Amino acid sequence: MRGGVIGVAQMGPIAKSESRPQVVKRLIDMLKEAKGRNCRFVVFPELALTTFFPRWVYQLGDPELEAFFETEMPGPETKPLFETAAELGIGFYLGYAEKTKGKHYNTAILTDGTGKIIGKYRKVHLPGHVEPDPSRKGEHLEKRYFDIGNLGFPVYEALEGRVGMAICNDRRWPETYRVMGLQGAELITLGYNTPVGLGEPFQAAALANFHNSLTMQAGAYHNACWVAAAAKCGNEEGFEMIGQSMIIAPTGEVVAQCSSLEDEVISARCDFDQAQYFKREIFNFARHRRPEAYGLITERIGAGDPLPPVESF
């Protein structure tokens, strides 16, 4: 079967004081649990190796800030995760803060069952602010600490199929899924750290879980692909983050979901061939779309002209 049993490894809070080896041990423990579930691939969260440091204000170049970033992957402290994955024969998605050639990225990698890195993605849609906002109860300063991703949304050959990656805020944007869907993605993997209670309107905070599932279920259905999403969640250093890690089928249905705000592994049998009916019949772009019609709409809107009547399409 193409695809197979896929696991999502949600993480509870990571304290600022936790060391890399301590965090890596938590990842390894969940990797072993996933192996017990017969998983062949596991999705870890965004920034899975550290606390969510964009909540604090640092000056760029501050040694404490720089310590959150990885300069190599795997490095001495993360190598045990790769070695364990190779021993177990499990591939994984891992989000982390990357420093390379003077640039800083919110990054995710994809590995195969031998521990070899076969894909990389750098976050495109950076939320939050550059400068702190004293009117808010908390900060979200990703724009301050990360450069915009420069790798696009590539899709890689993995699990006998095509696998793409996204990170957190990317999941809210339809084009994230569409760009990978047009490349034939059969599984989209993503991790997130989504805080609430930073000063956003009450309604936005109250609907955070609804919008989390809404965007991913719509993306999965519209692009006929599986979505496997892992949260870092719970009360981390006094700040609340949503959980609701889940696995979504190409039908848009949630087939597995975490029920806690702690370290938790869920899994589901993800048959890539299950997506083929929807790719072939429902969302077959070549069969059901007329590029010339969409081009005409774009031209008319750009010129301020009224749209043509429906019967002209």
Active site residues: 46, 123, 168
Give me the sheet containing 41-43, strands edge to edge.
117-122, 103-111, 91-100, 41-43, 3-10, 264-271
Side-chain-side CA neighbours of residue 150 (13 Å): 7
User: Torsions phi, psi of 208, nearest 5?
Assistant: -60, -45
How would you write 72-91 as a 3-class SS string? CCCCCCCHHHHHHHHHHCCE
The region that residue 196 occupies, defined by phi over 0 for left and psi between -120 and 50 for alpha, beta otherwise, is beta
Number of Cβ atoms within 10 Å of the Cβ of 121: 26
Please tell me the distance from the alpha carbon of residue 286 to that of residue 302, in angstroms, as a whole number: 25
Please tell me the distance from the alpha carbon of residue 99 to that of residue 200, in angstroms, as a whole number: 30
CB 131 within 8 Å of CB 56:
no
Q: Using CB atoms within 10 A of its CB, is residue 66 exposed (0-12), middle (13-18) or buried (19+)?
A: middle
